[in-house]
Amino acid sequence: MLLTRRTMGRLALAGIPGLTAFETLTGNSQRAAAQPAPRQNRSNINGVQFGLQPFCYHDLPMTPETRPILIQRLVQNGMGMVELHATWCEPRFNEVSTNAQAAREKLRNWRLAPPADFYSNIKKEFDAAGIDIFSYYVNFNPSYTDAELDATFEGARMLGAKSCIGSYGLEVARRLAPFPAKHGMYLGLHNHDNLSDPDAFSTEATFEKGLSFSPAFKATLDVRHFTAANGDCLGFLERHHERVSSVHLGDRRRNNGRSTPFGEGDAPIIEILRMIRDNRWPIVALLEFEHGTLRTEVEEVRLTFDYCKRAVT
């Protein structure tokens, strides 16, 4: 509708309803203009969303006190998404006078009643740096009470995370089945290369068993570990991509071999990235490495990210 002076006059003669319509129209337009456009994630490269598993910063203690340095490094490395470990958020009760059992109980009590706005304030720190918290890494274990599980998922939700993930096996995952959906989230199942442990996620069959526990379960395929366990990463993604939320992307030798710089091992990193790109799968590629390096961790992350960006551009 073109609002000329004559149109405005007719609205005025029509009385208050007409004026209300005009105010609604112009007001909505002003609000729409004032609404910020959705932020483009800086590490979305040609349709592939990259992020970082910040274990890569091996020299950085994973504590709340180092969280500002973590954020600074993520920005420096051009990352707009992270898988955030709980240890970068939760307090530690490791005073000399506190034994392990007492420290565990203090942490449980803290989780059940964290300070007001604790998680939302952490989210603001990452938001201000243009970083989305994709997932929240928590090593759930049998010592967690049901109330503690609910509180942890709720904290992750307030951080903006889509899921909780950790290194746990089938039995812990089975117990977690009722919890993620209650909080509008999903649970990530993460594999290792321990083929001798029947409780471990390590093969396609163990992933399939875990995914059957709940529709709110999704796979985080650790490419390094799956390769070391002689798994078929490309075949797994072809068959299960609808239940895969992310990959931990790194390189390693087969037959339980060593971790290597990207491109020097047996993991099909380039093929995985192009498969995600070409199929437009909403699978997040979280960079992670364990190989030793004489370079700084920030420089090594930059090199791995550059390697991946070349694969999809």
What is the Cα–Cα distance from 89 to 16, expressed in whole angstroms? 54
Contact 110, 90 (CB under 8 A): yes
* Averages of pLDDT over each 10 residues, the chain, 313 residues: 41 39 42 58 97 96 97 98 98 83 94 97 98 97 97 98 97 98 97 95 98 98 98 98 98 97 97 98 97 93 98 96
Distance of alpha carbon 154 from the chain centroid: 15
Contact 133, 160 (CB under 8 A): yes
What is the Cα–Cα distance from 217 to 144, expressed in whole angstroms? 19
Q: So what's the pLDDT on residue 37?
A: 60
pTM of structure: 0.87
Question: Quick one: tokens of 65?
Answer: 């006190």
Architecture (CATH level 2) of domain 44-312: Alpha-Beta Barrel (3.20)
Ranges of each domain in the chain: 44-312
What is the Cα–Cα distance from 159 to 141, expressed in whole angstroms? 21
> Residue-wise over 199-222: b if at least 16 C-beta within 10 A, else e?
ebbbbbebbeebbebbebbbbbbb
